[in-house]
Structure 1
Amino acid sequence: MVKGIGNWLTKYSELDPENLALIYKEKRYTYKHLNERVNQLAHAFVSLGIRKGDRVNALLLNTNESIESMFACAKIGAIFVPINFRLSVEEVHYIVNDSGANLFIYDERLKPVVDELRLIKTRLLDYIQVGTTPHEDDLKYEELIAAASKEEPAYDISLDDVHLMMYTSGTTGRPKGAMLSHGNTQWNAINCITFMPFKKSDITLTVAPLFHIGGMSVFTTPLFYKGGTIILDDTFDPRRVLENIQEEKITSLFLVPAMWQALTTVENFEQFDISSLQLAVSGGAPCPITVIEFFQSRGIPFYEGFGLTETAPFVSLLDEKNTLRKNGSVGKAPVHTDVRIVDPNDRDVPVGKVGELIVQGPNIMVGYWNKPEATKEAIKDGWFYTGDLAKFDEEGFIYIVDRKKDMIITGGENVYPIEVEQVLYRHPNIREVAIVGYPDEKWGESIKAVVSLNDPTQSLTLEEIEKFLSGKIARYKMPKQLVILDQLPRNATGKILKVVLRKEA
């Protein structure tokens, strides 16, 4: 009988019960203790009427309760729906209504949003609060656990059953709930473990948010599958990350590019001993080449990966031995995933030519929640159409050129913003950069550079940008306008909101 990913904890509680599974601040849980708490929470969910296929909303930070809730849902066949805690109440309300959940778990630090949510009509029947000052109508998380049985829940769960629903970031409209099955998460873990040097003794730090597929499943769920140790931190502080690596001997770390970039600015970076770090992975957006070089020059095995919520997320990774040789590539697909690059007629493009990257494998999502048309558009004959433009080199390495919607066509020539951005990141006074198109009567579109500066007291002009880019890119790729902002707009997962910048253009 298959029992899904919840069975991972059951097995390790028997095989290695005293091994450390989870650390959050002063809390340290062995696999035996964590499995017991998950079982108790699962029984508590059932007592509240949660059944197989029901959705459970969670507005939680990176705490043990988030991991426990996810696995508790998995053990009874319910669907865990983590909600981005940086969203407005209107955005949270949309996800609550769209997912059709009856149960809502939240951290007391997020109480102001929940208090507003209560005033809006939803289907929610129960609120569970993590903390010590709940609303008078709320259930208390620890009291529910204390009152429930530690016995293993007896439910038939198959790998095809959905256990996780993650809402896409919604940079171009309303977010969609990507339904991920137990099999998607398990095969993603297998892909990670067969591609990267995972060991049971590994310790990962998860500070990227668990509502993001990168935080949840680049290292966190794969390391649970391996029986390793996960350390959670609910606040990203660059200096604290370096301290954690040094103190806890962290061996693996996933961060989005903006976080990696923040680490490079920590004063006295060299004073920290981060030699234990054997797997440093960036994903979620293209990583500035200067950041990659910063860590490579310090002997840190730095991997750049590519993935999406809909692919659970592993699509490709540039392994350590090719990191320097193939700088700028996102590597190759793992054993159990296939990729193609196709033209608009779904024909494979030649080596070096740009097309849309499509993905096939057991890590491809079940579909979008309650959106059959969007699912049909995204998944065709088993292939997921990523919307990302890419090319293969002669050795089969993948290079992401840009998002399909971000490509600029000026005077009939295709311009891929990433190409220009990566060059501009080398400018000593540019901290952030986004290249976007704007309407031009003569050329159709022209190019605008939107930047923030390392030193705002030093001016930067369009002429200086042109001089810096001269000889590095073709003339038609040169920005015709320059906008300087204090900081570029980003969504809650750290991606620059080019849709906002285009609207302003």
Structure 2
Amino acid sequence: MANLANDTDSDEVHRVGGIGDWLDYHAQHHADQEALVVGELRLTYAQLLDRAARMAGVLAGRGVRKGDRVALLLPNGNEFLETLFACARLGAIAVPINFRLSPAEVEFILTDCGAQVLVYHPQFTPLVAPIRPNTPLAHAFYVPGSGAPMPGDVNYEQALATAQPPAQRTPVTQSDPHLMMYTSGTTGRPKGALLSHGNTTWNAFNLLLSEAGLHSDDIVLTVAPLFHIGGLNIHTLPALYKGAKVVLHPHFSPADTLRLVQRERVSMLFLVPAMWLAISQMPDIDQYDLSSLRVLMSGGAPCPITVIEFFQKRGLCFLEGFGMTETAPNACFLGSRDALRKNGSVGKPLTHVQMRIVDANDQDVRQGETGELVLRGPNIFVGYWSRPEATAEAFRNGWFHSGDLARQDEEGFYYIVDRIKDMLISGGENVYPTEVEQVIYRHPAVREAAVIGVPDQKWGEVPMLVVALHEGAQLTLEEVRAFCEGKLAHFKIPKQMMIVPALPRTATGKVLKRELRSSIIGADKPAIS
């Protein structure tokens, strides 16, 4: 499963050590600087290194060796990062698991990756206990917290208290995998995307060289879940590469986020659009001191322009980024100066990323035309775990094929039009739901919007709007169609509408359109206005 963009293992960069060395460097140069804040717990770089090194000893004592997988079923906390760095020091592969999955989905991931060791929080015991006998798990450690652990499992802190770092460090190179992130599965069964030490390091380089570049004195707040590539790699690991401070919080709430920004003097904050929307709707937001914020970043889905305008009017630097698990994830940014002028664009590629837009024959399309976005660079993932066919399909002609439809304007700005699988064809015309959603988001009654294709006898399929409204608001299909008149071609304007309390989303804020299509198209008579 070689990374076709990075298959020159003889290059010097591939012989440099892995991310496990980051903590050693910072502990040597500024041991007493705070690295991590979790509630009342504050760890310096020396303390974080000590705990990660001893956790490596714990795992090595349970037989974990280079290439072995260690599963993490944890909320945002120091134990997550300690275990990840412990794995990196051993050359093992950390496998974060979304704790919002069902037991059957957790069983699939544990079995698919072949993890023999699990580190978990007792609140997630109900996810694992029913399916554990069907998995390869041989050892499990639970972190102290609410909930009952499974019988016979080892207390994380007690194991750490008596452990010693391994006597010898495992040789690790930039080419070795250190992380397996399972894709969200919004369009199918999840796949384990393997990221190497080099992928994560070059991702940090790309961020440092961008407008969102980290400084050593930055304070990053991470409330997006670390089991997702956005929570882990957009700011968190790059901050620890740079020697900055990371504040972790186990869950998102608008009030908690604003309180932590004020208390910890947070300078950088990444959230997905649904989170930014929730914060923008806080009635008392102006009562919080947000003067420390230097960079706000949104990603994971297109951010409504009304949300961008809300924060920019308060003088805050608001960036949009684009990437995916397979790009580790930072691929391109839309800078703050262009956020409104080029709304809808994802910006331009980062320093060490190349991007093209191609047709079905992998030939470049003309400027302004829509095609598939393909990428290459040292941040592109290694491949899909145990999926050689999927890996070969993703890497064609030396480029990673993203599955995203995109176009580029005359100034070189890229626009993600939609996922190839989300595009619908109505009467022979391509309809890109994201384009329609961005228009509808400007309607004052609309809180959330998603457009999907539904069958139609005359046109094959037509766009249907699924919408959640602001409290007390009302909206009819006729009003939507009148609002879209002149802003969208007639074939793009929704022909049907359903009002729901909220859209189904993944843990990272992406709308589950597969679930919407299944529930609506499978229903006999959906409640359509």
In 2, the alpha carbon distance for the partners of 1:274 and 1:458 equals: 30
Q: What is residue 309 of structure 1 aligned with on the other side?
A: 325
Counting only pairs closer than 5 Å after superposition, residues 42-121 of structure 1 correspond to structure 2 as 42-118=56-132, 120-121=133-134
In 2, the alpha carbon distance for the partners of 1:431 and 1:325 equals: 23
Could you tell me which of 128, 140, 143 is aligned with 2:141? 128
Residue 199 (structure 2) pairs with residue 180 (structure 1) = no
Q: What is residue 366 of structure 1 aligned with on the other side?
A: 382
Task: Select between 291-300 and 26-35 the one with higher mean Cα deviation.
Answer: 291-300
Residue 473 (structure 2) pairs with residue 473 (structure 1) = no
Counting only pairs closer than 5 Å after superposition, residues 261-276 of structure 1 correspond to structure 2 as 261-276=277-292
Deviations 1:199-229 (A, max 9, x none): 0000000000001000000000111110000
Give the secondary-structure state (helix, strand or coil) at the position aligned to 2:439.
helix
Residue 260 (structure 2) pairs with residue 244 (structure 1) = yes
Give the secondary-structure state (helix, strand or coil) at the position aligned to 2:209.
helix
Let me know the Cα RMSD of the aligned residues: 1.3
Amino acid across the alignment from 1:462? L
Deviation for aligned residue 1:112: 1.9
Query: Is residue 278–residue 301 contact of structure 1 (8 Å, CA) maintained in 2?
Result: yes
In 1, the alpha carbon distance for the partners of 2:506 and 2:337 equals: 33
Q: What is residue 452 of structure 1 aligned with on the other side?
A: 468
Query: Is residue 305–residue 340 contact of structure 2 (8 Å, CA) maintained in 1?
Result: no
Deviations 1:103-156 (A, max 9, x none): 0110122122222233x4111101101016533310110111111124775110
Give the secondary-structure state (helix, strand or coil) at the position aligned to 1:365.
coil
Deviation for aligned residue 1:349: 1.1
Give the secondary-structure state (helix, strand or coil) at the position aligned to 2:461.
strand
Amino acid across the alignment from 2:313? S
Question: Number of residues paired by the alignment?
Answer: 503
Amino acid across the alignment from 2:483? F
In 1, the alpha carbon distance for the partners of 2:260 and 2:134 equals: 42
In 2, the alpha carbon distance for the partners of 1:489 and 1:340 equals: 32
In 2, the alpha carbon distance for the partners of 1:150 and 1:272 equals: 43
Query: Is residue 205–residue 231 contact of structure 1 (8 Å, CA) maintained in 2?
Result: yes
Deviations 1:394-420 (A, max 9, x none): 111111111111112111111111111
Q: 1:462 to 1:8 in 2, by over 3 A?
A: same
Residue 55 (structure 2) pairs with residue 41 (structure 1) = yes
Task: Select between 388-397 and 365-374 the one with higher mean Cα deviation.
Answer: 388-397
Deviations 1:288-337 (A, max 9, x none): 11111111111110001100000100111012232233222111111111
In 1, the alpha carbon distance for the partners of 2:240 and 2:26 equals: 9
Deviation for aligned residue 1:273: 1.5
Q: What is residue 494 of structure 1 aligned with on the other side?
A: 509
Residue 230 (structure 2) pairs with residue 217 (structure 1) = no
Query: Is residue 3–residue 155 contact of structure 1 (8 Å, CA) maintained in 2?
Result: no
Residue 370 (structure 2) pairs with residue 354 (structure 1) = yes
In 2, the alpha carbon distance for the partners of 1:23 and 1:59 equals: 20
Query: Is residue 39–residue 152 contact of structure 1 (8 Å, CA) maintained in 2?
Result: no
Deviation for aligned residue 1:362: 0.4
Could you tell me which of 339, 342, 366 is aligned with 2:355? 339
Query: Is residue 60–residue 166 contact of structure 2 (8 Å, CA) maintained in 1?
Result: no
Amino acid across the alignment from 1:140? N
Counting only pairs closer than 5 Å after superposition, residues 293-442 of structure 1 correspond to structure 2 as 293-442=309-458
In 1, the alpha carbon distance for the partners of 2:410 and 2:71 equals: 46
Give the secondary-structure state (helix, strand or coil) at the position aligned to 2:320.
strand
Give the % identical residues.
53
In 1, the alpha carbon distance for the partners of 2:496 and 2:150 equals: 52
Query: Is residue 308–residue 340 contact of structure 2 (8 Å, CA) maintained in 1?
Result: no
In 1, the alpha carbon distance for the partners of 2:167 and 2:213 equals: 32
Task: Select between 269-278 and 40-49 the one with higher mean Cα deviation.
Answer: 269-278
Deviations 1:153-181 (A, max 9, x none): 51100000000000000112210000000
Task: Select between 52-61 and 292-301 the one with higher mean Cα deviation.
Answer: 292-301
Q: What is residue 173 of structure 2 aligned with on the other side?
A: 158
Query: Is residue 308–residue 339 contact of structure 2 (8 Å, CA) maintained in 1?
Result: no
In 2, the alpha carbon distance for the partners of 1:135 and 1:407 equals: 45
Deviations 1:330-379 (A, max 9, x none): 11111111000111111111111111111100011100000000000011
Q: What is residue 300 of structure 2 aligned with on the other side?
A: 284
Amino acid across the alignment from 1:34? L
Deviations 1:256-275 (A, max 9, x none): 11111110111211111112
Task: Select between 262-271 and 161-170 the one with higher mean Cα deviation.
Answer: 262-271
Could you tell me which of 137, 140, 160 is aligned with 1:145? 160
Give the secondary-structure state (helix, strand or coil) at the position aligned to 1:199.
coil
In 2, the alpha carbon distance for the partners of 1:301 and 1:379 equals: 35
Deviations 1:72-106 (A, max 9, x none): 00000000000001111110000000000100110
Residue 16 (structure 2) pairs with residue 2 (structure 1) = yes
Give the secondary-structure state (helix, strand or coil) at the position aligned to 1:370.
coil
Query: Is residue 505–residue 512 contact of structure 2 (8 Å, CA) maintained in 1?
Result: yes
Give the secondary-structure state (helix, strand or coil) at the position aligned to 2:67.
coil
Q: Which runs of 5+ in 1 are unaligned?
A: none
In 1, the alpha carbon distance for the partners of 2:346 and 2:150 equals: 47
Give the secondary-structure state (helix, strand or coil) at the position aligned to 1:230.
strand
Give the secondary-structure state (helix, strand or coil) at the position aligned to 1:406.
coil
In 1, the alpha carbon distance for the partners of 2:275 and 2:384 equals: 29
Q: What is residue 24 of structure 1 aligned with on the other side?
A: 38
In 2, the alpha carbon distance for the partners of 1:363 and 1:463 equals: 47
Q: 1:152 to 1:328 in 2, by over 3 A?
A: farther
Query: Is residue 103–residue 127 contact of structure 1 (8 Å, CA) maintained in 2?
Result: yes
In 1, the alpha carbon distance for the partners of 2:239 and 2:419 equals: 30
Deviations 1:439-462 (A, max 9, x none): 11211211111101102x443211
In 2, the alpha carbon distance for the partners of 1:202 and 1:424 equals: 37
Amino acid across the alignment from 2:293? L
**How high is the TM-score relative to the length of structure 2?**
0.93
Query: Is residue 360–residue 383 contact of structure 1 (8 Å, CA) maintained in 2?
Result: yes
Query: Is residue 43–residue 153 contact of structure 1 (8 Å, CA) maintained in 2?
Result: no
